[in-house]
Structure 1
């Protein structure tokens, strides 16, 4: 039980610190004690409920979600973007902007940057600031996706990002998915392709999007996935894809012929990369993102608020 004098000292210290804006050093000098004593008194004020700290800002909810995501899925970092009331297009832009900002601020030790494909990553590249990073190289992590939607292909994104960074990039001159395993083996044995695939495995940071084959699928829209493929993927319990590689709800690669015909990094290759940043928006991808996190493929996740909330609530 605290004496009246002890309680008075705690309240006086808290009042000077929180209400009058004094430093701990100034309070210590006034009260004739050491700074650690003041620190302990302030801590005691919180423990006893004399002081309650409230953060009054609309960002507090997203920051809490970030902390919960980091804890639940063992992430190094999470960025949750406030998107309440946004249209789908606005959500994509906001996530692209946040991921571009995050990448720009976390590039100090990066010499090789890998990038996959997709419309959300294209938005990241579009929002990325112009800056000088001549010692960097950007590498595509998967082949091209046909002749449609060229602006979201890995080669194009690598080129556009390198242009903004004023640095070099590599090109993976091969389709993302070929017709036969034999053709894939022949292409990946070619020196130009093999060298870029090897570069991709050695990147310091990989930027990846996450797709759902069934809802809002770009691969389906541009003709890479046919109805029979989707039926087979359902049968194999595929739930999503990264770098055009399909996985199940545990994040494990599915035994589907498409996975054997992809020219790009494998899911196991991704796990070996030091920092993999997943950039995703849209609650229709919830199951896909959850599976990716279950599979431990990501180190950093940039995501919209609605999908983040659903991830945190999932058991």
Structure 2
């Protein structure tokens, strides 16, 4: 039990430090003790409940969500972007900005091979990425993509744009994402130029991936890669999400479906071997797809919006 005199002294020191902004050294000189003694007294003030530290900032809520997501899904890192009151476009842009900033800050200088998938969210990441000098890096598209529809979100285009931003180089996967038949897929993946880029994709050190929901808000459906019959068939097979146009079930296991055999791009089992995978997604309609991807163990760091983070934690 603290005496009145002792308590008064702790209040006085805590007030000088937390309210007046004095340094521990300045307080030590005034009181006539050493700096370590002041440090111990400030700790004592906290232990006695005299001082309670509150962090007052809107980020506190999202930081708490990040911690909970990391614990629940065993993630290396998480970024939760505030999104209350935002329109879907604003959310996508905010998540893209956060992911671009995160990648720029955390991408090690010695990384030479970076893979990128495709989609509208990844397109925002590339748009928001700053111009840098990373001459050593080569950007590799992780899935095919040809045609004239929505070219700006295809992996080849994103690889090219990101390479320009980083002042690096890029590879091109000259093949469609989805091929008409399994036989044609087999023939294409054996072509030297395509086989070489697919091999590069298996050996990237870092991968940037988006997460899709084939049943709601599907970009693959919007641009004509998937038809209603495909979606019904995928539903029957238990597909809950896709990464790089590869479909998986609610446990994150690749589904047995002929569409998965007609994709030209990185297989999910090879994605699991990539040392560092950053998953970037937004929209509560993707919550189940994201959760399944996390269960499947494909992602090390997740960049996500606040509302979707809350949906993952309820």
TM-score between both structures, scaled by the size of structure 2: 0.94
2:7 equivalent in structure 1: 7
CA distances 1:153-200 after superposition (whole Å, capped 9, x unpaired): 000110111112221100011111212222222222222111111111
User: Secondary structure at the residue paired with 1:96?
Assistant: helix
With over 3 angstroms needed to count, the CA separation of the structure-2 counterparts of 1:26 and 1:277, relative to structure 1, is same
User: Secondary structure at the residue paired with 2:272?
Assistant: helix
Aligned 8 A contact 2:146 2:174 in 1 = no
Q: Distance in 1 between matches of 2:45 and 2:184?
A: 70
1:59 equivalent in structure 2: 59
* Structure 1 residue 261, shift from structure 2 partner: 1.7
Q: Distance in 1 between matches of 2:146 and 2:237?
A: 23
With over 3 angstroms needed to count, the CA separation of the structure-2 counterparts of 1:296 and 1:40, relative to structure 1, is farther
User: Secondary structure at the residue paired with 1:67?
Assistant: helix
Aligned 8 A contact 1:145 1:224 in 2 = no
Give the aligned length.
Answer: 313
Matches within 5 A, 1:1-315: 1-109=1-109, 110-144=111-145, 146-312=147-313, 314=314
Aligned 8 A contact 1:114 1:141 in 2 = yes
RMSD, aligned CA = 1.7
Runs (4 or more) in structure 1 with deviation over 6 Å come to none
Gaps of 5+ in 1: none
TM-score between both structures, scaled by the size of structure 1: 0.93
* Structure 1 residue 298, shift from structure 2 partner: 0.9
* Structure 1 residue 36, shift from structure 2 partner: 4.0
Q: Distance in 1 between matches of 2:48 and 2:255?
A: 54
Aligned 8 A contact 1:208 1:279 in 2 = yes
* Structure 1 residue 30, shift from structure 2 partner: 4.1
Aligned 8 A contact 1:209 1:280 in 2 = yes
